[in-house]
Structure 1
């Protein structure tokens, strides 16, 4: 007897939560592309800006390590971002030989104005669930993050060895 009903579809699609997580990952990429278009930057430049907005000023070599690209490639990205007014190069406060890449406050404001309404809406979703449900959701997401970090880790270590 062949199962052609919902059971077969469920086995083919996988668990609904996993399907939705994959959809979130795709949509996240789309949101990043949309933000890049709004800020008129390419994906590498947007990655640089995201690291700077999350961490604050960083050295070009640190950015290169975080992105897994060469220092020459990150320098080209920084040059483009400086030209567009998204970042500036400033002297390191304690090491005159080093430079820091600093995000422009206006660019950070523009990016956050684009993202904050969505972030707040997503953050508010969790309040509709009980504490136990919130714990289960958080557990699922934490374990998913762990899986994704393990997948990315070999790439990061490969980039460091270049």
Structure 2
């Protein structure tokens, strides 16, 4: 989605060609375009991963949560993923039917169940994600310490922008 910021077409938003402001405007545009392209590539990778692992996007989100946070109850999954318990239950049903996850009795409350990834899930997913992780690690390590600090601060600002947009 290519959304223009308010006032993007105004004269003040577009520096005069060839001036010092033009270089700054081009840099802003380049960064915005790079972020847009990164978002598109992330989405494309998630679709690729969904196909390879034979899990729909909602199931991929659940499995990602289970791998990173650990086994949990369906209610906790729904709350953490900001989904209804009914929708989360349907996703879990598909994951269990597909052999991607299991339901196990809760260790302290026998009315509840715990959802866990299938034994080989993490290793299988890692096979597909490893090249991405290794590439990002290599790109990060290629930066000088001050560059890393600058990039990290910039990415945090962008994350904050997303957080603010959600609050609006």
Regarding TM over 0.5, the answer is: yes
User: Matches of 1:57 and 1:31 in 2, distance apart?
Assistant: 25
Q: Is 2:137 the partner of 1:123?
A: yes
Residue 34 of structure 1 and its aligned partner are, at CA, apart by 0.5
Residues 13-61 of structure 1 deviation map (CA, whole Å, 9 limit, x = unaligned): 9432222122111111111111001111111111111111111101101
Aligned partner of 2:54 in structure 1 is 40
Q: Which residue of 2 aligns with 1:134?
A: 148
Q: Does 1:82 align with 2:96?
A: yes
Q: Which of 65, 68, 72 pairs up with 1:54?
A: 68
Deviation digits for residues 105-146 of structure 1, max 9, x if unmatched? Answer: 212211111001211111111222211111111111111122
Task: State how far apart, in whole Å, the 1-side matches of 2:149 and 2:133 are.
Answer: 20
Q: How does 1:13-28 map to 2 (within 5 A)?
A: 14-28=28-42
Distance 1:10 1:37, change over 3 A: farther
What CA RMSD, in Å, does the superposition of the two structures yield over aligned residues?
Answer: 2.5
Find the aligned partners of 1:105 and 1:13 in 2 and give their Cα distance.
47
**CA separation of 1:146 and 1:103: change in aligned 2, threshold 3 A:** same
1:105 is paired with a residue whose SS is coil
Higher helix share: 1
**Count of residues in Structure 1 that have an aligned counterpart in Structure 2:** 153
Structure 1 residue 147: Cα displacement: 1.7
TM-score (structure 1 length as normaliser): 0.83
Q: State how far apart, in whole Å, the 1-side matches of 2:65 and 2:105 are.
A: 19
* Structure-1 residue corresponding to 2:79: 65
Distance 1:136 1:14, change over 3 A: closer
Alignment-derived partner of residue 150 in structure 1: 164
Superposition TM-score, scaled by structure 2 size: 0.80
Cα deviation, residue 149, structure 1: 2.7
Indicate the residue corresponding to 1:93 in structure 2. Answer: 107
Q: 1:103 Cα deviation (Å)? A: 0.8
Give SS of 1:101's match: strand
